Structure 1
């Protein structure tokens, strides 16, 4: 098993591959997102965290996923346009992935093992599950979809 999220790469929403090693030394908040979810307004809170802390080393990474109620049906262009137009998202967004099942992205396989959910379940239960990762690439905390981004600020502060 990998020992750090820095060992993974992912395809960016706009194309090209992003090695997560490029984020070494940064605090990361990794979130599986969707454009048509009851939690979609959290994009605003995620963007606010990114704007507030990016100069100190926070990077929010968004991973669109269509596995929960088909709430991310758009193509890359539609997802990017939606995020920018409705929430002014400026943090990195990645190509749509799967987070559960046989085709789960390797990053998410790692995140789920490193920080299981309630009762030790590894499965991602819904959109906007969040993982906080320290500067060394170690997963520190997993947050439920209902956890508002601003409520994570204290935990982020401790890692910055």
Structure 2
């Protein structure tokens, strides 16, 4: 009996260590991504979220007009398709697709793609804030490396556009 109690205590102790280390690693990753965003935000090229037709969330700070203006200045930075093991954003339709957008105020919003007839679709905002850092079982649901990669691509395209204007002027 003592041996079993000892093993259980060691398992519980190791689980706590894993959780503590996971928190530290997640915080480091969040800091890194926020640093990259803060460093590059004034050099990114923003555009409107296409086919955005609705807002279905509660935590809006300010007016809907202000939030709609934020959505006019956004960058697509990731997608998420729910699985049976990861259901942070989920409805009854498992084929739903969710997208992450960086807004010009350094916040994020999540859109849900809603299929319509004739292969058409619309987007609806379902979350706003620091939603890029949502995690489940100590793993981010959004691919933060891909987020950084897409921001880097946006900066590279912006540089190319500026260099082309220099050449053509």
Q: Same fold (TM over 0.5)?
A: no
TM-score by length of 2: 0.28
Which has a greater percent of helix? 2
TM-score by length of 1: 0.29
Which has a greater percent of strand? 2
Structure possessing the higher relative contact order (Cα contacts under 8 Å, 6 or more residues apart): 1
Structure exhibiting the larger radius of gyration computed from Cα positions: 2
